[in-house]
Amino acid sequence: MPHRQIVIGDVHGHYDTLISLLDAIAPDSDDQVYFLGDLIDRGPQSAQVVDYVMKHGYKCLLGNHEHMLLGTVGKGGIDSHQLQGWLYGGGYPTLVSYDHHIPQEHIEWMKKLPTYIDLGDVWLVHGGVNPTMPLEEQTAEQFCWVRDEFHAMTEPYFKDKVIITGHTITFTFPGVAPGKLAAGAGWLDIDTGAYHPNSGWLTGLDLTNEIVYQVHRKHKTKRTLPLAEAVVSIDPSTVISKRAKRPSVV
């Protein structure tokens, strides 16, 4: 059996839910596991999540929440201008999970996280791309933070690659129920809102076999279903005008 390529959406500090999800997926040493970023913030066990991913050598992207943390404490001190924004965005539980002292080893690891990973026919990124800019001109500001202009694309950014993202909780798109994935022109979003009280689902996607694995944070339900059954297609014309109300930072 060939090795699997497995992509996991935004964990947001929910270590126990992540372990349950990995138990369901059961990756072996030949499988390739990729995290889309936002390991941290909002949930109670960010330090444990980061430590686990680091120790297992799993590949991980830079998410906007790691980007905020690095902007706050990644330059050798605390940037007071960035601090309030990070804490407002969910950083305080992260500090608590680290007992208010983030090890330099973890900070240096986050500094080395790539902003995207090219798997050939699949391209992994946390937030998306700015469709009006050449790829080589884009930075973490676009790759980690972009939202509506990316989801409103009417043509794929790549002709030969599907972009898989986290960052935007899928139920914030019109017509998408909690736990469902969202797809548009050349993109697939698998952030099903593990931390959010209106969802609670953490998602892993087996790209090789097109299987979706999910665990619910609150009631611990596990489910496995074909990718085709989990995806809702998005009308790009509805993205900006009708997106469901969401938290200011997700």
Whether residue 154 is contained in a domain is answered as: yes
Q: What is the mean pLDDT of the chain?
A: 94
Q: Which of 22, 79, 65, 15 is nearest to 166 (CA)?
A: 65
Residue 113's domain comprises 5-242
CB distance 34 to 124 below 8 Å: yes
Q: SS3 for 234? A: coil
Number of structural domains the chain divides into: 1
pLDDT tops 80 at residue 248: no
pLDDT tops 70 at residue 249: no
pLDDT tops 80 at residue 240: no
Residue with tokens 């902007």: 71
pTM over 0.85: yes
pLDDT tops 80 at residue 140: yes
Q: What is the pLDDT of residue 243?
A: 56
Whether residue 250 is contained in a domain is answered as: no
- What pLDDT digit, counting tens, does each position of 54-90 carry? 999 999 999 999 999 999 998 877 888 888 889 989 9
- What pLDDT digit, counting tens, does each position of 168-181 carry? 999 999 999 999 99
Q: What is the pLDDT of residue 237?
A: 87
Whether residue 249 is contained in a domain is answered as: no
Whether residue 13 is contained in a domain is answered as: yes
Whether residue 97 is contained in a domain is answered as: yes
Q: What is the share, in percent, of the chain residues with pLDDT greater than 70? A: 95
CATH number of the domain that residue 191 is part of:
3.60.21.10
* Distance set, CA 156 to CA 130, 164, 167, 204 (Å): 12, 12, 19, 23
CB distance 64 to 167 below 8 Å: yes
Q: What is the pLDDT of residue 74?
A: 85
CB distance 177 to 139 below 8 Å: no
Whether residue 94 is contained in a domain is answered as: yes
pLDDT tops 90 at residue 195: yes
Range in 5-14, 84-93, 130-139, 221-230 the model is least confident about: 84-93
Cβ neighbours of 249 (radius 10 Å) = 15
Whether residue 16 is contained in a domain is answered as: yes
Whether residue 248 is contained in a domain is answered as: no
pLDDT tops 50 at residue 196: yes
